[in-house]
Chains A and B, each alone.
Chain A
Amino acid sequence: MTAVSYLIAGMLVWGGIGWLVDHFVGTKGIFAGIGAVLGVAGGVYLIVRRLGA
């Protein structure tokens, strides 16, 4: 449960920030994509640190 919430939260937060950056810079979604990938990476890292042994 917590793990799933970290993954989704990571994607939403950094994907959302990327989307905002896209919006202001005028690109078509490259930052949202990068953000989502970064967010998932952060989420996985958090799961390993917080929930792993």
Chain B
Amino acid sequence: MVIGQSTVLAAAFPPSVEDFYLPSILPWGEHDNYWFTKVTLLIWVSVALLILFFLYAYRKPQLVPTKKQWLAESAYGFVRNNIAVDMIGPAGVRFAPYLTTLFLFVFVNNFFGIVPLIQMSPMSHIAFPTVLAVISYVMFIYVGMRHHGPLKYFKHALIPPAPWFILPLLIPIEFFSNFIVRPFSLAVRLFANMFAGHMLLLVFTLGGFAMLNANVLLAPVSVLSWLLTIALTLLEFLVICLQAYVFTVLTASYVQGALADEH
């Protein structure tokens, strides 16, 4: 089912945004119907994969971890120790479950972008990073308000320690940078990286076909272009890990900022 959709859909070169809108799965093959597409399917598959993996890995926990248990524990341990506790401090442990879920969810969905025959990351549609960014945004504001009380939190977040006459200059900057730029940059960073990665792979793959169609003598260059696609896929793997990590680290750092006491 998915395989049928991942064959080169648009042989048109250069690739465009249209290539990100795959035909509908239910009803099958229909265009301009986006209720259930491959992207929808992939999101649910990633959710199911994560739930099943952790249920399976922790079904019979051993004191000396089995291989699958070790994998799950090291994923959780990595986020807890290297992101949550490192960024937030001892209080970060209670955010570790959410951060781990976030990290693995972003990672798995990004990873769909380079799995052969799937090769489409849901995160290259801005809707998904936006929802994740909104969750992080609401969370760090809520956590800050819980910790300091609403008034004191906004006072802490908006009013820097400065003489009164300079405050009118600084408060708009604080507001803009803390409450407008943050969710926006969080969502756009992830989206743009995945979008650009997919676009790049499309350019090199379809470019190979385009050159082959234009002139048979260009066949060696086409082959080179496809080899570069493989190399770029490996580069893309780096971007995938990095962006999942960056998204989680920034969420943790915003929570840390919301919890921080005045100094």
Q: Is the CB of A46 within 8 A of B250?
A: no
Residue of B nearest to A38 (CB): B169
> A1-52: which residues lie under 8 A (CB-CB) from chain B?
1-2, 5-6, 8-10, 12-14, 17, 38-39, 41-43, 45-46, 49-50
Q: Is the CB of B172 within 8 A of A14?
A: yes
Q: Is the CB of A9 within 8 A of B162?
A: no
CA distance A50 to B159 in the complex (A): 11
CA distance A52 to B161 in the complex (A): 12
Residue of B nearest to A39 (CB): B173
CA distance A17 to B175 in the complex (A): 14
B161, B169, B182, B253: the one within 8 Å of A49 (CB): B161
The answer to whether the Cβ of B177 comes within 8 Å of any Cβ in the partner chain is: yes
Across the interface, which residues of A come within 8 angstroms of B177, CB to CB?
A: 2, 5-6, 8-10
Q: Is the CB of B166 within 8 A of A5?
A: no
Q: Is the CB of B172 within 8 A of A46?
A: no
Given A42-B169, A46-B170, A12 and B176 contact (CB-CB distance below 8 Å): yes
Give the interface centre of A1, A9, A38, A50 by most chain B CB atoms within 10 Å.
A9
Q: Is the CB of B173 within 8 A of A14?
A: yes
The answer to whether the Cβ of B29 comes within 8 Å of any Cβ in the partner chain is: no
CB distance from B95 to the nearest CB of A (A): 19
Number of interface residues of A (CB under 8 A): 20
CA distance A43 to B160 in the complex (A): 12
Q: Is the CB of A43 within 8 A of B173?
A: yes
Across the interface, which residues of B come within 8 angstroms of A42, CB to CB?
A: 166, 169-170, 173
Q: Is the CB of B173 within 8 A of A49?
A: no
Residue of B nearest to A6 (CB): B177
CA distance A2 to B177 in the complex (A): 8
> B237-263: which residues lie under 8 A (CB-CB) from chain A?
250, 253
Across the interface, which residues of A come within 8 angstroms of B185, CB to CB?
A: 5
The answer to whether the Cβ of B174 comes within 8 Å of any Cβ in the partner chain is: yes
Q: Is the CB of B172 within 8 A of A45?
A: no
> B13-48: which residues lie under 8 A (CB-CB) from chain A?
none
Across the interface, which residues of A come within 8 angstroms of B166, CB to CB?
A: 42, 45
Q: Is the CB of A13 within 8 A of B172?
A: yes
Across the interface, which residues of A come within 8 angstroms of B173, CB to CB?
A: 6, 9-10, 13-14, 39, 42-43, 46
Across the interface, which residues of B come within 8 angstroms of A14, CB to CB?
A: 169, 172-173
The answer to whether the Cβ of B214 comes within 8 Å of any Cβ in the partner chain is: no
Q: Is the CB of B181 within 8 A of A5?
A: yes
List residues of A whose CB falls within 8 A of some B CB.
1-2, 5-6, 8-10, 12-14, 17, 38-39, 41-43, 45-46, 49-50
Q: A2-B253, A42-B166, A46-B174 are in contact. List 8 more A-B contacts (CB 8 A).
A: A1-B250, A1-B253, A5-B182, A6-B173, A13-B173, A13-B176, A46-B160, A49-B160
